[in-house]
Amino acid sequence: CCCCCRCACLQSDAHWDQEVCIKVGAALLALLVENSHLSDGIFTAKTWRSRGAAANKEPPQLPAFEYVYVKQGIKQQSFVRASQALIGVLLADRTLAAQLLTKVPPMLVPPVPWMRYNYGGYLTSRHYMMRTRYSRALVERLKAADQSGAYQKVLDALNVLGNTSWRINRSVYDVMTSLWEAKSTAGGLPAQIPLRPPPPPPMNYRLIFENGGLSVRSGSWSRRERRQYILACDDVRRLNRNMASLKSDFLLKIKVKRVNDQ
């Protein structure tokens, strides 16, 4: 939204201060959230009729984005994130997910020679010669060392690595693709089937450890059981996110090979 405001300012030769940009960006973001919906491919006609809806009604439109409110102490912040329906549609097409989740794809042409600490490598993307983790102090130290010529050997080494040609090992590629089609996890391949969340704790009579000893409980969960269940669910979600990232990375490598063949 801020980028749209800056583009509008450049095209109209107008000067918008930060407050105006924030207001215009918030209005554009609200329009995006309110008018972005998913209607095709979410509900089938059979599923829609099985829910008791009339035959002449259209399937429901699911929001593509949603507001999320996070409370931090006494303050409450709001965020905009993709809905679960949109995430499901994107992850259903693994090739599309690989393109969307990849920040910088591999290059198929010779890279730009590294001339400075912040210029070189990719053709259109600007990157530093090393990861800075958005640290201004580290960027300033890189800039000072680059001006003194301390990193010239490092830049030369990066240029040598960038100009080194590469090729795909056909035998390894055939083995990995066959394992992927068989949905195998051999060779370090990520699992294609997401993990299921653990079952909730039982509600019948059971022995639990609380307050420094064993006790018998029935009915509702104890605080310890609830916490352990929440942590286990968080671990499953974290592992599934990692697997989705690894799957996208693997599919991107497969796509690079196919593009190279063409």
pLDDT of res. 45: 41
- How far, in Å, CA of 230 to CA of 119, rounded? 46
| Whole-number CA gyration radius for the chain | 26
The average confidence (pLDDT) of the chain is: 77
pLDDT of res. 113: 93
Short-list 176, 222, 169, CA closest to 200 = 222
Q: Look at 155 and 52; give whichever has higher pLDDT.
A: 155
Question: pLDDT-based confidence at 214, cuts 50/70/90?
Answer: low
Please list the residues that pair with 119 across neighbouring strands. 116
pLDDT of res. 256: 75
- How far, in Å, CA of 218 to CA of 208, rounded? 10
Percent of residues, the chain, with pLDDT higher than 90: 9
Question: pLDDT-based confidence at 209, cuts 50/70/90?
Answer: low
Q: Tokens 């095709």 sit at which residue?
A: 40
pLDDT of res. 224: 73
Please list the residues that pair with 72 across neighbouring strands. 75
Give the pTM.
0.43
- How far, in Å, CA of 48 to CA of 59, rounded? 6
Alpha-carbon separation of residue 131 from 39, 117, 118, 136, 163 (angstroms):
41, 11, 11, 12, 21
Exposure string (b/e) for 203-240, b if CB count within 10 Å is 16 or more?
eeeeeeeeeeeeeebeeebbeebeeebeeeeeeeeeeb
Q: Look at 144 and 220; give whichever has higher pLDDT.
A: 144
Percent of residues, the chain, with pLDDT higher than 70: 72
Tokens of 46: 């059979």
Short-list 165, 158, 159, CA closest to 260 = 165
Q: What are phi and psi of 78, to 5 degrees?
A: -115, 140
Please list the residues that pair with 63 across neighbouring strands. 37
> 99-121, pLDDT tens digit by residue?
665 666 667 788 899 999 999 88
Strand ranges for 12-125 from DSSP E: 37-38, 62-63, 65-72, 75-82, 112-116, 119-121
Ranked by mean pLDDT, the top range of 51-65, 73-87, 208-222 is 73-87
Q: Tokens 């240029």 sit at which residue?
A: 159
